[in-house]
Structure 1
Amino acid sequence: MNRPRLFLITPPEFDAGEMAAKLEQAFAGGDIACVMIYMPGAGTKEIQAAAQVLVPVIQQGGAAAIIYRDTQAAGRSGADGVHVDTSLEDVKLAVESFHPDRIVGTGGTKLRHEAMELAETGVDYIFFGKLDLAEKENAHAKTLSSAAWWAELFSTPCVALAGNTIETLEEVVATAADFIALKDALWQSGGDIASLVSQANRILDAHPFPEDSQDG
């Protein structure tokens, strides 16, 4: 599919059963490439328990299940990969452990040369945007500029974090990022999740990549 795809991120805290139901609603709304199980304050046991509920739902929906930071939980739960942003050395170790069978993503850096160093490890994507910052209506300007710079120059796919409304996709899709991440725009909006995902996909459908783009 030669256009950006959705990369969903769970809230930092959730009930696994309720989250599974919400994810099923999301998949009813259309194409989703990845779902990151994002539990920054949880331990391995708690993450693994949630992943055992959510990973099958995500995979049945046709998406890749990515665990945030916890390589043990990712390995034990049958997830498709892990997102590691703690250090360059941790990323290298994850690539060694998970490749070639599973996905390793990274991000969280503010500096361009650091993003380039991370890409050199062989990761599958670079994530632009701060997961631990409160989301605003629009994507952060730094996220937009970094994603646009990266998408133009590098072949490693990139993910750009949108703001907390579906309308923010219009500004993020202009960066030509391969994936656009949504978090609060889905879970905190109070709207119908399937309808929001459908609306998001309509926006992405209207923005195909140029034929000569490096869309990974």
Structure 2
Amino acid sequence: MNRPRLFLVTPPEFDISDMAAKLEQAFAGGDVACVLIYLPGAGTKAVQEAAEKLVPVIQQGGAAALVYGDTQAAGRSGADGVHVDTSLEDIKLAVESFQPERIVGTGGTKLKHDTMEAAETGVDYIFFGKLSLDEKEKAHDKTLSGASWWAELFETPCVAMAGNSMETLAEVAKTGADFVALKDAVWQSDADVSSVVAEANRILEAHPFPEME
């Protein structure tokens, strides 16, 4: 697929059955590459409980199921991978134990040097955008500039976090990021989740990657 793909991030709190239903709606709307099960304040037991219910739904939808910050829950639930952003040492440990069978992603770095150092561990993607920040209508300027810089110079795929409105998708796609992440724009929309995903795919299809010379 020669254009950015959708990377969905769950809300930080949710009802498991409700989220499972919403994810099924999302896949009915079109292509979704990954879903990050994002429960930053929960313990391993709660994360694992959510992952055990959601991972099969995500995988049946044709997407990769990733668990945020908990390698134990990711491993036990049969998830496709884990997102680790706590420290460089934690990233290295995750890469060592999960690859090559499973995905390891990271993000949240403040400095370009830290981002490059994280990529050197062999992670599968770099995430631009702060998952913990309240989303604004538009993508953060640092997210756009970081993703543009990375996409132009480095081979490791990158994910860029969009804002909470669909109008931000085009500008994020223009960075050249391999994946565009959506969170609030999907789950807090008044529209049906499937129609939001369908609209997102229509926007992304209008922004193919430049042809390689």
TM value normalised by structure 2: 0.99
C-alpha distance in 1 between matches for 2:144 and 2:208: 18
Equivalent residue for 1:104? 104
Q: Which residue of 2 aligns with 1:155?
A: 155
Instruction: Give the SS at the match of 1:139.
Output: coil
Q: Shift of the alpha carbon at 1:110? A: 1.3
Q: Offset of 1:72 from its aligned partner? A: 0.0
Aligned residue identity for 1:56:
P
Name 1:59's counterpart in structure 2.
59
Q: Which residue is equivalent to 1:25? A: 25
Offset at 1:192?
Answer: 1.0
**Partner residue, 2:93:** 93
Aligned AA (1:165): S
Which amino acid is the alignment partner of residue 140 of structure 1? H
- TM-score, L = length of structure 1: 0.98
1:37-56 aligned at under 5 Å gives the runs 37-56=37-56
Query: Which amino acid is 2:36 matched to?
Result: M
Amino acid at match of 2:151: A
Unaligned ranges ≥5, structure 1 = none
Instruction: Compute the displacement of 1:211 (Å).
Output: 2.1
CA distance in 2, matches of 1:113, 1:211: 29
Range that drifts further, 101-110 or 183-192:
183-192
Moved over 4 A (4+): none
Query: Counterpart of 1:163 in structure 2: which amino acid?
Result: G
Q: Determine if contact 2:170/2:207 at 8 Å carries over to the other structure.
A: no
2:173 corresponds in structure 1 to 173
CA distance in 2 between counterparts of 1:191 and 1:45 reads: 32
* CA distance in structure 1 between the aligned counterparts of 2:29 and 2:113, rounded to whole angstroms: 38
Contact 2:119 2:156 in 1 (8 A): yes
Which letter does structure 2 place at the counterpart of 1:73? A
Shift, 1:188, TM fit: 0.9
Tell me how large the CA RMSD over aligned residues is. 0.8
Q: 1:129: which partner in 2?
A: 129
- The answer on whether the counterparts of 2:55 and 2:78 sit within 8 Å (CA) in structure 1 is yes
Q: For residue 114 of structure 2, what is the aligned residue in structure 1?
A: 114
Matched, 1:200 2:200: yes
Instruction: State the 1:60 CA deviation.
Output: 0.3
> Hey, what's the Cα distance between the residues in 1 that align with 2:207 and 2:104?
27
Deviations 1:33-61 (A, max 9, x none): 00000000000000000001100000000
How much identity, in percent, do the aligned residues show? 77
**CA offsets, 1:119-163, max 9 Å, x none?**
000000000000010000000000000000000000000000000
Counterpart in 1 of 2:79? Answer: 79
